[in-house]
Amino acid sequence: MAVASIASSFLIVGIRKRLVANGRDPGGLPFILRESNSAHTALVVGLAVFGLLGWLWVATRDTPWIPVERITQSTSSPIVGYILDEDGAWFTVMLENDRRVVNIPSAQISQREPCSRGDERTPLVMLVWPKAAHYPEC
């Protein structure tokens, strides 16, 4: 992400220089393309671009923000999925393999166990929690 942030900063500077070289009035350019009067403005723009790229990276991941679990049923083989809702009588589960959402009666579930599909922590989470939690493989 840092590389993308630096690259976007160079892109903005390049676009600004090209527009000014072609005779465009710098005052008429959008604020992000105007000449910066201070390092503070450049820092704010860089952080905004960095934040936007980070948000886009997190928002486009296909992993839900809830833990994956191995769900053992009394009537069939275990399944791996994400528990979306539990109301006492039913569990709503999104299956890991094909993302289907199914309802399972609570009476059929004999065990729930968090499991791991490998280390899927984001770089920010790795900075805050350098050591990953250990769960059995799904």
What average pLDDT does range 83-89 have in this prediction?
A: 92
Strands (E), 32-132: 69-73, 79-86, 90-95, 101-105, 109-114
CATH of domain 69-128: 2.30.30
Tokens of 83: 């528990």
The dihedral built from the CA positions of residue 44, 46, 48 and 50, taken in this order, carries a sign that is negative
6 versus 89: which is more confidently predicted?
89
What pLDDT, on a 0 to 100 scale, did the predictor assign at position 54?
76
User: pLDDT tens digits for 100-134?
Assistant: 999 999 999 999 999 988 767 767 677 777 787 78
Domain extents in the chain: 2-59, 69-128
User: pLDDT tens digits for 23-69?
Assistant: 766 566 565 555 656 666 777 777 888 888 877 777 777 777 788 99
What's the rounded Cα separation, in Å, for the pair 118 and 138?
9
What pLDDT, on a 0 to 100 scale, did the predictor assign at position 49?
82
